[in-house]
Amino acid sequence: MTARITNLAISLCLMCGIDSVNAAVIWTTRDSVLNASYLFGAAADVSSDNVKDTANSLTERFSMSIADSDTDAGVVLGQPWSAAITYSAGHTFEVLGSPLNISGISSTGSSAATANYTGGASIGVNVRAPGNSWAVEFEVTTPTRYLLQGSVSDTNTRNTSAGVGLEQFGLRWGAFKIFTDNTSFYETGELNPGLYRVIANASAVAGLEIASAQSGWNLQLGFAPVPLPSAIWLFASVLGVWVSGRNVLRDFGSTKKPNLIAKKI
């Protein structure tokens, strides 16, 4: 009889999932956008360009970048001028686990721009709108713990910006957590079932007033199952019956009423 009670305790513990439910975080979409533009020159001698690259694949291009430079020079009304620009933007990310049950997401990204000129040139280079943006959307099907940590940074808050956010979808996307401008962060909490996305962006603008600007982010988002208190109490109850097994058996062999109440342990 004692062996049967022991087996019953083990079986019930396995059935109730004593430690936790299985976390289910499903990767649904991904959105990457890189964009840069510049304009410089004097009078009618103007150089410009606009570059954009996008991706939404779940199987390729986990690392993306754009970069270029340009120079020009001339004379306007007897005055020499010259100008030079550079820009770069890129990000990389990784999704851990399988798409149907991911365990974590990590990403880094950065943007940079420089602009130098002499004479009467007008100059500007923008890595923005949106510049360098990245998002991964996922569905949480059971209550799930999360840990979000990392940092965002930029060199000139007026002409650069960087941010990391965790958003939840209701009638529209709304901020769950948001971090911007030279911030290190470490956040833990619980996600209820629903649709979420982790986003990041970095922009940089250089021109006549600011010769160079940089911004960037890094983040790690991890998931873990939430323990079930009811399962823990069920385990304690079953274990109590097992511990009191001898008394139950002894009571069955006597004429008094069996004590079937589990002892507290």
- Token readout for 183 is 């911030």
* Contact by Cβ (8 Å): 119, 79: yes
Residue 241 vs residue 212, higher pLDDT? 212
For the chain, the average pLDDT equals: 79
Helix (H, G, I), strand (E, B) or coil at 2: helix
Other residues' Cβ atoms within 10 Å of the Cβ of residue 50: 10
The model's pTM is 0.75
Locus of tokens 């007008």: 122
Q: Over the stretch 29-58, which tens digit does the pLDDT of each residue have? A: 999 999 999 998 888 888 999 999 999 999
Q: Which helix (H) or strand (E) holds 12?
A: helix 2-16
Task: Pick the range with the lowest mean pLDDT from 2-11, 49-58, 62-71, 139-148.
Answer: 2-11
Q: What pLDDT score does 22 carry?
A: 52
Q: Which two tokens stand for residue 202?
A: 């970095």
Report the half-sphere exposure of 47 (CA within 13 A, side-chain side): 17
Q: 120-171: per-residue pLDDT in tens?
A: 778 888 887 678 999 999 999 999 999 999 999 988 767 788 899 999 987 7
Q: What angle do CA 207, 210, 214 make, to 5 degrees?
A: 95
